[in-house]
Structure 1
């Protein structure tokens, strides 16, 4: 397993090419590249040319950090044909960047719309039909996160959608902060999905279903907003012993190709302290789960 830093908390204070050194300074040997305006921005065409990609590769090598995964967020499942076709074009460039960086693992979101779930699912499969030949030819692995406010938010239903593509090169991203949106119990999702969970994001969140649904009150009542947080371990309601022991049970912790990314976004003002805390705590919980304690 590769324990990686998501550098999003440092986007405001550091440049793209500084992220590998930041990761190393925070105690991480791996980096997960998330959307960034100079690299692969949200929903738009990648902005990194071949020269910048090579500079990033050199910066990682100099810092003795490996880029473990890319996390593009593109409108793969958009019911808008123009947006979906653009995502396919942008996605082809993302796949080439992954190859050039020597990165096998890519994580992403479905990026459809819950109010148009059927149309979004059709768009998802259409996109996979176009991109899968490249993904399989290059030996890449693409994993999807059922993100809150997507056309599929339920954990097992997301796995069914992924499984339907019928390719071992596709899998699932399990985001701990989305635990209370995925409906099923974490162990049920992990056991059903097994080794097709290739990336997990480690950050805590509050259970918005608590207090009979009144932990968070939004107005007007019944509006369709989703709420969750990306807090440091221990600041929310995620059962971390269950989380790590579940990953140990399915073999995630001992797989050299899986990626565990620290993804705390709630405390930018304390990003250095929080990142170091995450690095240490993830390692402690991993060792405890491996030993069965």
Structure 2
């Protein structure tokens, strides 16, 4: 229930804000598939509503299609959050809405599951060129994290595939 969940979130924040401020804790909030806020734009609005400079947003490229109902417009998502964005998580995913919603093979069909992938960039359908261009346009200088977890048995290989592309996209030598 998104409305009830949001109300509970504000109630929790009212209790937590004094503790966070007393202990100098910064808070990063992320929209997430199947949470009460799945859209990065709605998460940015929630963050702005607090009007606290120590509360900011994490944006995850692997959630791009969930964030806007299958469009995957990473430029719009980043631009909508540019004033509160401090952390980017990098991973690829397939668009769950493509192929008439049948992008994934699930047996039996219609099984009540959520597919949540964090693939190496290039293994899915996220537009990384547009993402890096948008990050450059807003002069992003926050945290960037390799967020691939599709290959726990090949971590070194996955990192070798991912890290050079992240550095190139960010313009890091």
Coarse TM-score class (shorter-chain normalised): 0.7 to 0.9
Match of 2:2 among 111, 117, 120: 117
Map of 1:251 onto structure 2: 139
> 2:17 aligned with 1:132, yes or no?
yes
Map of 2:159 onto structure 1: 275
Deviation at 1:145, TM superposition (A): 1.1
> 2:148 aligned with 1:260, yes or no?
no
> 2:143 aligned with 1:287, yes or no?
no
1: CA distance between counterparts of 2:46 and 2:111? 28
Deviation at 1:121, TM superposition (A): 0.6
After superposition, the C-alpha distances for 1:75-97 in whole angstroms (9 at most, x for unaligned) are xxxxxxxxxxxxxxxxxxxxxxx
Q: What is the alpha-carbon root mean square deviation over aligned residues?
A: 2.0
Question: Residues 272 and 220 from structure 1, CA distance in 2 versus in 1: closer, same or farther, beyond 3 angstroms?
Answer: closer
Map of 2:93 onto structure 1: 205
How many residues are matched? Answer: 168
Deviation at 1:265, TM superposition (A): 0.8
2: CA distance between counterparts of 1:168 and 1:231? 32
1: CA distance between counterparts of 2:165 and 2:55? 29
Deviation at 1:278, TM superposition (A): 2.0
Runs of 4+ in 1 over 4 A off after TM superposition: 217-220
2: CA distance between counterparts of 1:242 and 1:136? 36
| Range with greater deviation from structure 2 (165-174 or 233-242) | 165-174
Structure 1: any 5+ residue segments left out of the alignment? Answer: 1-115, 289-293
Map of 2:110 onto structure 1: 221
Could you tell me the TM-score, scaled by structure 2's length? Answer: 0.87
Deviation at 1:137, TM superposition (A): 4.1
> 2:76 aligned with 1:188, yes or no?
yes
